[in-house]
Structures are given as C-alpha cells and as structure tokens.
Amino acid sequence: MSAQREMKEKNPWHMPVTIIITVIGVIAIVALVTVAVLQNRPLPQKYKYGIVLDAGSSHTALYIYEWPAEKDNNTGRAEQKHSCKVKGPGISSYASAPLKAGESLRACMQEAEQWVPERRHRETPLYLGATAGMRLLNMENSTASDGVFRAVEGALQKAPFSFQGARILSGQEEGAFGWVTVNYLDDRLKQGLETTGALDLGGASTQISFISDKFDGSESQSNSVAFRLYGNDYNLYTHSFLCYGKDQALRLTLAHQTQSGPNLISDPCFNPGYSSTKNYSAIYDSPCVSNRKPQGAPLSFIQEGKGNFLQCQEVVKNVFNFTHCKYSQCSFNGVFQPLLQGPFGAFSAYYFVMNFLNLTDTTIPLETVKQKLASYCATPWSQIMQQHPDVKVKYLAEYCFSGTYILTLLTEGYNFTSESYSDIKFIKKIKGSDAGWTLGYMLNLTNMIPAEAPDSPPLPHAGYVSIVTIMAILLLILFIISLRPLWPRCSKQPQIV
C-alpha cells in the first residue's frame, strides 16, 4: 500500500500542474492546426465563363467553357460546360436570306443564358468564328457574306453577354487552334511534354497540324506558326486544304466523274442498289468545282451505286495532285509537309465517319481496316437502310465515300503508312471537352495561356495541411519526451541486488 502511495507521489502524471500543462499543450497544438488549416483553406470556387460559336460549313455549334475564377492563368483548366447544336444548316447557306442566319442562333443563345449564371452574363465574352463555308462564300460573293455577318452580329449583340465580334478564321488559325485545344486538354503544354498532332476534317476544309523536329519554319513560312506557351517554344507546322473537307471532296469526285456530262454515272463510292437523281447545278454550285462544269450537260444525272472500295479509292485519288512539289517534300497539290511525327488526334468528321463505320480502333492493321470498309461499301443499299433506320438517308448514303476519302487522304495525301496509321487516334472529346478549334481560339483571345510558366504555390493545400499536422504531432511527442525526467520508473525494472 505504502509503495503504491509512494509511486503515486513520484508519478508526475498525477500532479495537477503536469496535467494542466499537458492539457494546455494539447489544446494549443489543436488550436494551431485548426487555425492554420482553416485560414489557408481554398476559398469556395467561383467560375468564369466564355462562349464560342463554331460557324462551320455544315452547321453551327455553341460551346460554353468554364474555369475557376481565381486561377485563370494558373492551375485551373478551362473545360466545356455545355454545347448546343444550332438547328438548320451552316450560316453560309443563308446567303440569300441572311436574317434567318441570325434567327437560327436564337435557341442556342437562350440555352446559354440558362447555363451561365445570371450575375456573370455581362462579363462573359462571346465569340463567333466562321470557317471554310464562309471562306468559300466570301470568295464567291463577298456582299452576301457581309450580309450574313451583319445578321449574325445583330442577333448576337442582343444577347446579354459581352459580344466580341464575328469573323472568318484563316485556315492557319483553324489548324493551330485545334492543335492548341488538343494539347491544352491533355495537359501537354504546361508540362512541356511531347505534343499531339491535330487532324481536323470538316465539310469544306481539312487541317493538319503537328510539331516536327525537322521543321523550323524556314522551308515554308506560310505553314509555320510560332508559339511561346508556359515557357516553351513551339514551331508548329499547319496547313488547311480548302475544298478538301468531306462534302466539297465529294463534289470534286463527282465533278471528276461527270466531266463528259453523262446522264448516268456508275459510282463505286455508293452502295450497290443506291440510285439518286442529282442536279448538275447543285454539284457545281461551289467555287471548288464551278470552273469545271461541263458545257452542254443536261440538267440532271442519275447516280447509281456500285459499291467497290478499290475503284472508289482510284476515283478519290484523282482529286489529289501529286505532279509538282517545289519543296524537299510535299503532301499534295504542291503543299510542303515535313516528315510526319506522331501521335495524332483525328477529330470532327474523322471521328463521326470512323465511329459510324466501327473503325475507330487504329490498333487494327490498316489492311484489315480497308477490308472492313470494302465489305461495308459492297453491302446492298437496302440492307444498309434497314440496319440504320434512324440515320438521315443523305448522310447514310455517303459513309462508303467518306470512309474511303478519309483513308485515301491519310495515306496517299498525308503519307501515313501501315505502321504510322496506329499513331492516329480517332477522338471526339478529351476529358469531357470536344476536340476542335473553339477552345484554343477562346484561350488565345482571353490570354489564358501565359507565355511564361506561372509561379505556383510551393505546396498544394493538401500537402500544406499534412505538413502542419505532422509538425504538430512531432511537437506534442517532443513535449511529452521533454517531461521524461518526471516519468515514473517502470515497476517491472529488474532490481539490482
């Protein structure tokens, strides 16, 4: 009993002063950690918004982007929050009724008002960029294209957003901004990683953009775009082929097949059993082919499908000119192209067509892809229609041609081989945002990609909290150890006799 009392008296943990000091110490440390963590907690996230209208040759789409307000040029990435497809054709189709082009945008603009919080409306920039459809209309009839722009500008000025203008993008801009989008979304720019090339197939033009170690811009300056992004220099090769989007390319092949002005053409690029009467004027009503309209041709011709991939490929090859090249190497039509350097992301119509044909898997050998496409092309039209009752007949009819055009453009046009074909990925979205030029365009106009690498806090919030907590625990342990001289001796200590 007396030994027990003696131990109790020697044990400092039973002394009121020690207990009070310990409790105060623990409270102080808990308070320190709590204040430090709360004080440095990230503020509730506020977002900013930007809206871009992509006025393509076949249709217009509206994209709403969102990014954290405090971090626009730092760690926060802009992402696509919503997209809206405008009903009806592209704005260039409204040349003779421009006001309708403006009206067509109304439904998507109203949707945008719902998606962007009202208090942000006035500060949200709104851009419209038009691509190859308007480039062609502008070449053909600049008064008509001015009229369309006036109408869409009138409609967009009425929106509650900060309208920043509507304009035609150059082919170079379209290619370069598509490349920026793909690499920004993949976080390749900030980290200075190897970049991904961008292949964009539209209805009226097509773009190829990539970084090649062999390309410094000197051989063809018109194909060179220099950037400094996040402290890294890029010399991008880019080219846009006007008239080589898939809809204009179809006109080019039909023009080739109707040069002698026949009443009937047997078309290997359409499924067997397909038959359609087409007007000569409808085919030749585009600056891409207008100068080739055969003299004295009848009003219309009948197009009958033959469904032969190999013959289709031969017809398609005719739209590319390989005869002259004043550079060390060319793709086609005498356009310089440096040595391909992958990987590549292929989006827009590349994706839509290859996805419809179930051919997006590029690990399948190119020869097998061709065989599968050949078998699709040879499938009777009645069977195709039966299998796809929901797809519009106009689109459905063109997939054999479009698939053949894509493979021919990639291999004969851009010189992809059986080996390098697997460097291509057919993509629609990257991390939830559509691949296309719109995001890159907005990032550029809002100066959201800095030329130099931004300063970032030395530690992320989670790391900071962990370090403060660990330090506090260490302090507590140190404090307890510092009381060691006052610790009771262990009763089981061997007795030295």
Ligand X SMILES: Nc1ccn([C@@H]2O[C@H](COP(=O)(O)OP(=O)(O)O)[C@@H](O)[C@H]2O)c(=O)n1
The answer to whether residue 305 forms part of the interface with ligand X (CB under 6 A) is: no
* Residue 54 beta carbon to Ca ion: minimum distance, rounded to whole angstroms: 6
* Residue 219 beta carbon to ligand X: minimum distance, rounded to whole angstroms: 27
* Residue 284 beta carbon to ligand X: minimum distance, rounded to whole angstroms: 19
Omega of the bond prior to 268 within 30 degrees of 0, cis? no
Identity of the amino acid at 409: L
The answer to whether residue 435 forms part of the interface with ligand X (CB under 6 A) is: no
Per-residue x/- track, 82-121, ligand X (CB under 6 A): --------x-------------------------------
Q: What is the number of residues in the chain?
A: 497
With contacts defined by CB under 6 A, name the span among 163-171, 189-197, 241-249, 335-343 that binds ligand X. Answer: 241-249
What's phi and psi for 444, nearest 5 deg?
Answer: -70, -45
With contacts defined by CB under 5 A, name the span among 133-141, 195-203, 234-242, 405-413 that binds Ca ion. Answer: 195-203
Size of site (CB under 6 A) for ligand X: 19
With contacts defined by CB under 5 A, name the span among 196-204, 335-343, 350-358, 374-382 that binds Ca ion. Answer: 196-204
* Residue 162 beta carbon to Ca ion: minimum distance, rounded to whole angstroms: 24
| Interatomic CA distance for residues 270 and 275, integer angstroms | 9
| Interatomic CA distance for residues 44 and 39, integer angstroms | 13
Relative orientation angle of helices 366-378 and 399-408, to the nearest 10 degrees: 160
With contacts defined by CB under 6 A, name the span among 56-64, 115-123, 311-319, 445-453 that binds ligand X. Answer: 56-64
Burial degree of 69 (CB within 10 A; 0-12, 13-18, 19+): middle
DSSP H/E element including 269: none
The answer to whether residue 430 forms part of the interface with ligand X (CB under 6 A) is: no
Strand order in the sheet with 47-55: 79-85, 60-68, 47-55, 125-130, 162-168
Is 174 an active-site residue? yes
Active-site option among 140, 174, 398, 412: 174
> From the list 50, 56, 98, 147, which residue makes contact with ligand X (rule: CB under 6 A)?
56
The angle formed by the CA atoms of residues 5, 11 and 12, to the nearest 5 degrees, is 135
The answer to whether residue 132 forms part of the interface with ligand X (CB under 6 A) is: yes
Residues 6+ apart with CB under 8 A from 113: 121, 159, 160
Nearer to ligand X, 124 or 253 (CB): 253
Strand order in the sheet with 264-267: 264-267, 300-305, 275-279
> From the list 199, 204, 249, 409, which residue makes contact with ligand X (rule: CB under 6 A)?
204
The answer to whether residue 403 forms part of the interface with ligand X (CB under 6 A) is: no
The answer to whether residue 308 forms part of the interface with ligand X (CB under 6 A) is: no
Nearer to ligand X, 353 or 359 (CB): 353
| Interatomic CA distance for residues 180 and 169, integer angstroms | 15
CA-based nearest residue to 184, from 137, 234, 223: 234
The answer to whether residue 178 forms part of the interface with ligand X (CB under 6 A) is: no
The three-state secondary structure class of 86 is coil
Cα-Cα end-to-end distance for the chain: 22
Contact 92, 145 (CB under 8 A): yes
Per-residue x/- track, 40-59, Ca ion (CB under 5 A): ----------------x---
Catalytic residues: 174
Task: Catalog residues that contact ligand X under the rule CB under 6 A.
Answer: 56-59, 90, 131-133, 202-205, 245-247, 348-349, 352-353
Footprint on this chain of Ca ion (rule: CB under 5 A):
56, 202
Residues that constitute the known binding site for ATP = 203-207
